[in-house]
Amino acid sequence: MTSSSGKAASPGRAASRDKAAFRGKAVLITGASSGVGRATALQLASEGADVVLLSRSASVLAEVQRECEAHGVRAVVTVADITDRDALEAAFSTAVRELGRLDGVVHSAAALSYGRFEDVPAEVFDKAVLTTLGGTANVARCALSAFSESGGGSLVVVGSLLGKISTPFMSSYVTPKWGVHGLVRTLQIEARTTPDTHVSLVWPGGVDTPVYLQAGTYLKRHGRPPPPVDSPEKVARAVVAALWKPRREVSVGLANPITVTGFRLFPGLFDVLVTPLMKLGGLSRGEVENSPGNVLSPTPEGEAVHGRWGRQWLRPVASVGLGVVAAGAGLAATAVRGVNRAGRP
């Protein structure tokens, strides 16, 4: 049963729980070769969990396996594309055979390509949607089946701020992430009648991972995480905390609630501001060749825990701050006009 509370403790407090909580537990992580998935695998291994590492990149998974086993736990490598149901089912079967059961599943794998909707080739768009949304459905199906056989378990899906708002040049990611959030809510409702089955959503904003450089692009520019940027380790702590204490959803990102509020309550103003802010804070400066990136096939040479941004988001923060101030002024003006109109006879 999912928690009845939509609130969660700060991700930074996760370390205060019993560090032995995961000792002897087995957790499968998708997207384990890079970014949040890899950070989560390492976090779980450091807390004593046996891990099953799943992605398309066998060579990188072997490296992650060594990093996890250095903590004295078992780490099983399973290579699969989450859009391939047969391969994914085989990977879950391997996990159960090797470790006996699965107590948890963390799903963080996704794909995207930057570009105006009409400029992204249909093949690339369709594959990105199939990976992010169809892959989530495949993983959830396998996870729930494994939990049914073992008597329960916890599924944590990594969503996104872009599962709650929209932004230009990212239709291949916004579209399926909205679907992912909808699917998770449905699973949470259904899980209320399934004893000891938990489903949680963790949705970060900008995170310093390689995904922005690995993504496809048809803008001749790479993406980059918009400020404020969090570390993959911070998101991983929230994910692991949700495994330990399931929550309906956990936001990771200081600006997430403000951004969602602006999108929902002031759509006209949001639409005016979002494109210039995206160009300023969400796209790289240098020109690159258009390509599908890792959407159609993996690019293991670019996989790692971190991207190249770190705290560099502070450089454009003054400009972004001006945009936020302008937005605030606009919101205030809108509110004043509303009050004035309401007060007229």
Taking the C-alpha atoms of residue 265 and residue 331, their distance in angstroms, rounded to an integer, is 10
Taking the C-alpha atoms of residue 68 and residue 61, their distance in angstroms, rounded to an integer, is 10
Taking the C-alpha atoms of residue 120 and residue 313, their distance in angstroms, rounded to an integer, is 27
Question: Would the pTM count as exceeding 0.85?
Answer: yes
Q: Does residue 326 register a pLDDT over 60?
A: no
Q: How buried is residue 310: exposed, middle or buried, by Cβ count under 10 Å (0-12/13-18/19+)? A: exposed
What pLDDT, on the 0 to 100 scale, is given for residue 131?
98
Q: Where are the beta strands (DSSP E) in 36-108?
A: 50-55, 75-79, 104-107
**Segment 97-120, tens digit of pLDDT:** 999 999 999 999 999 999 999 999
What pLDDT, on the 0 to 100 scale, is given for residue 19?
60
Structural contact between residues 193 and 169, judged by C-beta atoms closer than 8 angstroms: no
Q: Does residue 339 register a pLDDT over 60?
A: no
Structural contact between residues 36 and 235, judged by C-beta atoms closer than 8 angstroms: yes
In b/e form, how buried is each residue of 4-26, taking b as 16+ CB within 10 angstroms? Answer: eeeebeebeebeeeeeeebeebb
What pLDDT, on the 0 to 100 scale, is given for residue 250?
98
Query: For the domain 11-339, what is the CATH code?
Result: 3.40.50.720
**Segment 5-32, tens digit of pLDDT:** 343 333 444 444 556 678 889 999 999 9
Span 239-249, average pLDDT: 96
**Segment 302-325, tens digit of pLDDT:** 999 999 987 554 444 434 443 443
Q: Does residue 64 register a pLDDT over 60?
A: yes
Q: What is the mean pLDDT of the chain?
A: 88
What pLDDT, on the 0 to 100 scale, is given for residue 336?
39
